[in-house]
Structure 1
Amino acid sequence: MRFTISSTALSSRLLSLSRVINSKNTLPILDCFLFEARNGQVVITASDSENVMQSTLNLDSCEGEGTFAVNNRNILDAVKELPEQPLTVDVNMGEFKMYITYQNGSYNFPILNADEYPKAQPLTDGAATINIDSALLADNITRSLFATAQDELRPVMNGIYFDLTADSLAIVASDGHKLVRNKNFAIKSDSPAAFILPKKPASLLKNALSKDGGDVVIRFDARSAEISFAEGNLTCRLIEGRYPNYNSVIPENNPNQITIDRKSLIGAIRRVLPFASDSSQLIRFHIDNGQLDLNAEDIDFSTSAKESITCEYNGNGMSIGFKGSSMLEILNNLQSEDVNIQLADPSRAGVVIPSDQPENEDVLMLIMPMLLND
C-alpha cells in the first residue's frame, strides 16, 4: 500500500489526536494511531479506551487500501519538524514496516497489526440529537471548563452538563463554589434530554473545533456520546448520574447592582490579591456611592492592600467577601467591556453577567461569598 499526503496536514492532525492518548496505557496498542486508507482518504484514530477520536484527511494519491497501527511518538517525531511538502508513505504488511520518503531523506519504523485496536461501541437505538454551530460550542466549552470540579465523591460535578429543554439548550458547569450557565435559545427540543460530558473529551473538542463555523452533531444515549464535526468525530463515555438542580442556587432578587469596567476590575484584583491570605485568598468588596473598594490582608504576615474603582451602583452600601482567584477566573472568561454584578446580601451568591450578551444567548456566572470577620 502506498499513498502521498501533505506533511503539515498530517502533522497538525496527529498533534490534535495525540492529546487523546494517555502517557501510560493498559493495552500497548493504545500507544498507537490507527490508520485506515481507503477511497482516496486516510482515517486516523486515537483512543484511550473511553474516548475515541477520528480525523479524516484527503490523500494526494493512493495505491491499495489497508489498515495498520503505528506508535504515536515514532510518527509524530518523524513529521513534526518537516516543512510543508508531499510525503510518500509505503506500508509493507509482510515486513510490518512503514517507510516515509520526503524531499531530502526518509524514515522507516515498525507497524502493528490493527486487529487488536479497540472499536467504539455503537449508541443504542433512540439516541437523542443536538445540532450546534462549532464556534458556538467551542466558546461555550471554553467559558465553562474552569468551573468544573475535581470531586471524587460527586463525579457528576466533574464534567459539563448539557441540558436540552423546550426553551433552550443550557450548558452548565459548577464546582459548588462557582457556576457557569450558558443558555442558547435557538437550540431547543420538545423532548427534554441531558448528558454530562467529562472534562477530557470537552478539552479535546475545544481544541479540535473550527472557529470558522460549521455544524456539530451530538448524538447521545445514557452511556455514550458521538460527536461529529468538520474534521472528524469523537466518541466518548459520559458521566452517569443526576446533575444537581443548578437553577435553584441562582438567587432571583438582587436589588444591589454594580456595573463596572471588566478589565479595570481584573487589574485591581490582580494588584491586591498577592496581599490576601494564601489559604483563603479573601478579598473584601465594599460598595457605596458609586465606588468599589477592594481590601485584602494577611494577618499572619502583616500585609494589606486597598484599591478603589469608580462604578455605577444601585443599591444600599454593603460589604461582601469573595475568593479573589475565583472572581478573576469568572471575569477572564467573559468577553464584554463591562460586567454587571448583582448582589442580594453578604450571605448570598453574587451573580456576574456580561453587559452585552451574545446573540440568542444568556450567559450567567455565579460565585459564592466568603465569610467576613468584621
Structure 2
Amino acid sequence: MKFIVSSSVLLKQLSAINGVITTNPVLPILENFLFVIENGNLTITASDLQTFMVTELEVEAKENGSVTVPARILLETLKNLPEQPVTFSIDESSYTVEISSDNGRYKLSGESAVDFPKKPPVSDAYNVDMSSEVLGAAINNTIFATSNDELRPAMTGVFVKLDDTNITFVATDGHRLVRYRRVDVSSDSGTSIIIPRKALNLLKSTLPSDNTNVSVEFNLSHAIFRFNTVQIFCRLIDERFPDYENVIPQNNTNHMSINRMELLGSLRRISIYANKTTHQVRLKITGSELQISAEDLDFSNEANERLTCEHNGEDIEIGFNAKFLVEMLNNISSKEIALQLSAPNKAGLIVPAEKDSNEDILMLVMPVMLNNYV
C-alpha cells in the first residue's frame, strides 16, 4: 500500500485529533493513529476508547488499505519536515511504514488495523444543528465549572437539555453553578444528556472560529459532533444530574450593579491576602459602596478596598471563595455585571448586564461562612 500527501496538510489534520490520545492508554495500540485508505480518501482515527476523533483528507493513492502508525514519532517527524509531498509505503505483511521525503527516508513500526477498537454505532439518534460559534460559547461559559471529583461522575461533565424553545447547558461542582441557555437552538426531542469534560475540551480546541455548522447526533449512550472534515464520537455520562433548578434562589432582594473589570481587578489584588486554604474574601455592601476585604490570620496578612456600585436593597455582608468569583468574572464579556443576593448564608447570582438577545447566562456561587472578625 502506498500513498502521497502534503506534509503540512497531513500535520494539520493529525494535530487536530491528537488531543484525544493519552500517555498511558488502556490498550497500547491507542498510542497509534488508524489510517484507512478508500478510493483516494484517507480517514485517520485517534481514540482513548471513551472518545474517538476522525478526520479525512484526499491523498494520491492507487489502492485501498489500512494500518496503524505510532502517533508521537509521526507527529514529531512531520513537525520537523519542510512543506513537501511525502510518500508513505506500508508493508502489509510486517506493518512497517516507510516515509520518503526530499530529505530522506524514515521507517516506523506500525500495527495491524484489525486490532484498533471500532467506534460505536449511534442508532435511534436525535439530531440537532448549531453553529460552531454557539457551541463554542456554550462550552466556554460552562466547562470551567465542572467538577474534578470522579466519585460524582455526573458533575464531571456538562448537562445539556433540549426543549422545543431552547437548549440549556449546565455545569456545577457543588460550590458554583453555571446555566447557559440559547433560544436560537431547539429540538422537540425533550432529551437531556451529560457530555464528558474531555470531549468538550477537544471540541473547544478544534471548533472553527467562523460560523461553521456543527451537526450533533445523540442517543442515550453516545454523541457525534460533525463539522468540516472532523468527527468526534464520545460516550455520554450515564448518571443522574443534580436538580439544579431548585438550587437557584428566586427571591433576591439585594441587587448590586458594578463594573466587571473594576471588581475583577480588586478581587485579584485582595485575594493575594486571603487564606490560602479557603480563599475567603468578604463583600460588605453599604449604600452605594462595596468594601472588599480579606485576611490570613496565620500570617497576619490583610487587605481591603472600596469600590463604587449601584445597590438596591438592605446592607449586607457575605463571604465568597475569591477563586470562584475571579473565574466567573473572567468568563463574562459584559462591561457591567449584577450581583443578586438574598442572605449571607444563601447562594449569590452573577448575571451579565449586557448579553446577546439569543442567550441567557446565570452564574451561581455558594457563600463561605464568615469569621466574626471586624
Normalising by the smaller structure, the TM-score range is over 0.9
1:42 alignment partner in structure 2: 42
In the TM superposition, what is the alpha-carbon distance from 1:358 to its structure 2 partner?
Answer: 2.2
Q: How far apart in 2 are the matches of 1:105 and 1:67?
A: 24
Q: How far apart in 2 are the matches of 1:183 and 1:198?
A: 19
2:88 alignment partner in structure 1: 89
- Alignment partner of 1:120 is 2:119: yes
Q: Compute the TM-score of the two structures, normalised by the length of structure 2.
A: 0.95
Q: CA RMSD in A?
A: 1.5
Q: For 1:169-226, what per-residue CA distance to the aligned partner results, in whole angstroms no more than 9, with x for missing partners?
A: 0011001110111101122233310100111111111111111121112211221112
Counterpart residue type for residue 104 of structure 2: G
1:198 alignment partner in structure 2: 196
Q: How far apart in 1 are the matches of 2:336 and 2:80?
A: 44
CA contact (8 A) 2:222 2:234 kept: yes
Q: How far apart in 1 are the matches of 2:177 and 2:336?
A: 19
Q: How far apart in 2 are the matches of 1:349 and 1:84?
A: 55
1:22 alignment partner in structure 2: 22
1:156 alignment partner in structure 2: 154
Q: Which moved more, 1:39-48 or 1:268-277?
A: 39-48
- Alignment partner of 1:9 is 2:9: yes
Q: How far apart in 2 are the matches of 1:300 and 1:110?
A: 58
Q: For 1:207-266, what per-residue CA distance to the aligned partner results, in whole angstroms no more than 9, with x for missing partners?
A: 111111211122112211122122311111111122112111111222211221212111
Alignment of 1:166-245 (within 5 A): 166-245=164-243
Identity %: 38
What secondary structure is seen at the aligned counterpart in 1 of 2:120? coil
1:104 alignment partner in structure 2: 103
Counterpart residue type for residue 28 of structure 1: P
Q: 1:340 aligns with which of 325, 333, 338?
A: 338
2:271 alignment partner in structure 1: 273
Q: How far apart in 2 are the matches of 1:83 and 1:319?
A: 62
Q: For 1:12-34, what per-residue CA distance to the aligned partner results, in whole angstroms no more than 9, with x for missing partners?
A: 22223221112112322111100
CA contact (8 A) 2:282 2:292 kept: yes
What secondary structure is seen at the aligned counterpart in 2 of 1:300? coil
CA contact (8 A) 2:288 2:308 kept: yes
Change beyond 3 A, Cα 1:107–1:294: same
Counterpart residue type for residue 38 of structure 1: E
1:290 alignment partner in structure 2: 288
In the TM superposition, what is the alpha-carbon distance from 1:308 to its structure 2 partner?
Answer: 1.3
In the TM superposition, what is the alpha-carbon distance from 1:359 to its structure 2 partner?
Answer: 3.5
- Deviation >3 Å, runs of 4+: none
Counterpart residue type for residue 65 of structure 2: G
What secondary structure is seen at the aligned counterpart in 2 of 1:228? strand
Q: How far apart in 2 are the matches of 1:65 and 1:356?
A: 55
What secondary structure is seen at the aligned counterpart in 1 of 2:298? helix
Identify unmatched segments of 5+ residues in structure 1: none
> Between Structure 1 and Structure 2, how many residues are aligned?
372
In the TM superposition, what is the alpha-carbon distance from 1:131 to its structure 2 partner?
Answer: 1.4
Q: How far apart in 1 are the matches of 2:301 and 2:52?
A: 51
Counterpart residue type for residue 36 of structure 1: V
Counterpart residue type for residue 254 of structure 1: N
Counterpart residue type for residue 121 of structure 2: P
Q: For 1:96-127, what per-residue CA distance to the aligned partner results, in whole angstroms no more than 9, with x for missing partners?
A: 222222232332212211011110121232x2
CA contact (8 A) 2:291 2:304 kept: yes
CA contact (8 A) 2:39 2:63 kept: no
In the TM superposition, what is the alpha-carbon distance from 1:291 to its structure 2 partner?
Answer: 1.7
2:31 alignment partner in structure 1: 31
2:326 alignment partner in structure 1: 328
Q: 1:142 aligns with which of 123, 140, 143?
A: 140
Q: How far apart in 2 are the matches of 1:149 and 1:142?
A: 15
- Alignment partner of 1:78 is 2:77: yes
CA contact (8 A) 2:5 2:85 kept: yes
In the TM superposition, what is the alpha-carbon distance from 1:89 to its structure 2 partner?
Answer: 2.2
Counterpart residue type for residue 158 of structure 1: T
What secondary structure is seen at the aligned counterpart in 2 of 1:275? coil
